[in-house]
Amino acid sequence: MALSHRRTDGFWLIALIAICFRFGPALAQPQAEAAQTIIIRAGKLFDPAAGRVLNHPVVVIRGNKIESVSYGTTVPVSGAKLIDLGEATLLPGFIDVHTHLTMNAGGGGYESLGISTPRAALIGAKNARLTLLAGFTTVRNVGAQGYADVALRDAINDGDVIGPRLQVSGPALGITGGHCDDNLLPFEFHHSAEGVADGPEAIMHRVREVIKYGGDVVKFCASGGVFSKGDNPLLEQYSPEEMRVLIAEAHRLGRKVATHAHSTISIKDAVRAGVDSIEHGIFLDQEGIELMKEHHTFLVPTSYPLFWFEEHESQMNLPPWVIEKAAIIIPAAKKNMADAFRNRVRVALGTDAGVYPHGLNGGEFWSMVTLGLTPVQAVQAGTTNAAELMGWSDRIGAIRPGLLADIVAVKGDPLADIRLLQHVQFVMKDGVVYKNEFPAEPSGARVPAGD
């Protein structure tokens, strides 16, 4: 009796699968046909993979993907919606691999203790919008308490709020009392940040927990930092053995690992342990540069805050320990980033937005050029290289058939004036236009049939 009952269940399951296979594609077809076709016409297109500018691009977008890219005046599809951007330059949507969307600028002091997780998620919704409208269509968020960044990612994917496509880390792992702990309260509060894990066993558990609750990437703190109270950016925090365990476990479970590393020794130990990216890398030396090249490790220089701090420090109401540490960090970082760029370490763009106001992310292109990257290399860092670091080269980072339709446009030639990338005038993500400041085409302009 029980056996035949089970067989009946099995029969219906097989029948259901058969129905899905039989009718699945047939049902999907009308939807695919209904996907809107858009044609973007512009003056120039910068192709970061080839490192060159091409004239008179015509990009055909169907649904959320790029269908074709051609050059000239012929528009290949009739009946499509036409977006004519005149003489503008098209670029792939920008990618920022180091942001703190759920934090507002200047949030590192005691006021941060009053921010709840739901409030942090709402702060994230505001900042995600600003970031998208600045031309950043994909962003990696590295470090958020309470998994507020997981909620933000899912809300964006569900269309509840607008923002870039996200990879998120949840809470960053770190040692007790380290940069990724929260050291503001005295002992009697017994307060630790959620990512704290000491020793191999606790670290393995924490990596698994981050993945369980929705982390796409694992972030940890290898050294001290600027905003944390009572630690030293010149010292290592995790031991080499702890780093090896952390990185091996994350990789085993299919996650890349990003590490905050300032001190020379922490950079080298993290690279030797197989980390995918060194974030900041302030005290990187020649041996560290060679090691990074040997291991194909990305450097995420987060250089714009160095310049932003110098200009705005007095208005920022920073805790005294931050001012003290920044005075040591800033000159060292500028020199060592310039050395790394000259030695052609692989660079992915990351801004540390959240340390300064969100939406200014495009400043990172300018600061990397100021420290020695060519404009072409800077754009590559924020498109093709960042896509590679995120493991998403097959989705984003270029304007190419088959990739997601993430396209931005600026007036003029950004390779001649890199600051133009701080004022993006057109933003499309997933085939949807979120910003278009170019003069409107006649309403409802369409490519005439037979054109």
Compute the least distance from the CB of residue 422 to Zn ion, in Å: 20
For residue 277, what are the contacts with CB-CB under 8 A and spacing of at least 6?
97, 256, 257, 258, 259, 297, 298, 299, 300, 348, 389
Stretch that binds Zn ion, among 12-20, 81-89, 150-158, 345-353 (CB under 5 A): 345-353
Number of residues that bind Zn ion (CB under 5 A): 1
Candidates 45, 41, 46; CA nearest to 60 is: 41
Element of type H or E holding 219: strand 217-221
Element of type H or E holding 20: helix 2-34
Residue 67 or 352: which CB sits closer to Zn ion? Answer: 352
Stretch that binds Zn ion, among 146-154, 330-338, 350-358, 435-443 (CB under 5 A): 350-358
Stretch that binds Zn ion, among 1-9, 341-349, 351-359, 372-380 (CB under 5 A): 351-359
Compute the least distance from the CB of residue 212 to Zn ion, in Å: 23
96 near Zn ion, judged by CB under 5 A = no
Query: What number of CA atoms fall less than 13 Å from residue 92's CA on the CB side?
Result: 33
Residue 258 or 407: which CB sits closer to Zn ion? Answer: 258
Compute the least distance from the CB of residue 313 to Zn ion, in Å: 17
d(C-alpha 278, C-alpha 98), whole Å: 11
Compute the least distance from the CB of residue 227 to Zn ion, in Å: 8
Over the window 298 to 337, marking each residue x when it contacts Zn ion by CB under 5 A and - when it does not, the resulting string is ----------------------------------------
Residue 196 or 405: which CB sits closer to Zn ion? Answer: 196
Structure tokens at 421: 């990338």
Element of type H or E holding 218: strand 217-221
Compute the least distance from the CB of residue 137 to Zn ion, in Å: 20
- CB atoms under 10 Å from CB of 83, counted, come to 22
Stretch that binds Zn ion, among 35-43, 132-140, 206-214, 348-356 (CB under 5 A): 348-356
352 near Zn ion, judged by CB under 5 A = yes
Compute the least distance from the CB of residue 424 to Zn ion, in Å: 23
Residue 242 or 352: which CB sits closer to Zn ion? Answer: 352
Axis-axis angle for helices 286-295, 264-272 (nearest 10)? 20
Compute the least distance from the CB of residue 100 to Zn ion, in Å: 6
Structure tokens at 226: 């600027």
Kindly report the backbone phi and psi dihedral angles of residue 217, in degrees, each rounded to the nearest multiple of 5, phi listed first: -145, 155
Kindly report the backbone phi and psi dihedral angles of residue 66, in degrees, each rounded to the nearest multiple of 5, phi listed first: -80, 125
Kindly report the backbone phi and psi dihedral angles of residue 185, in degrees, each rounded to the nearest multiple of 5, phi listed first: -95, 150
Contact residues for Zn ion (CB under 5 A)? Answer: 352
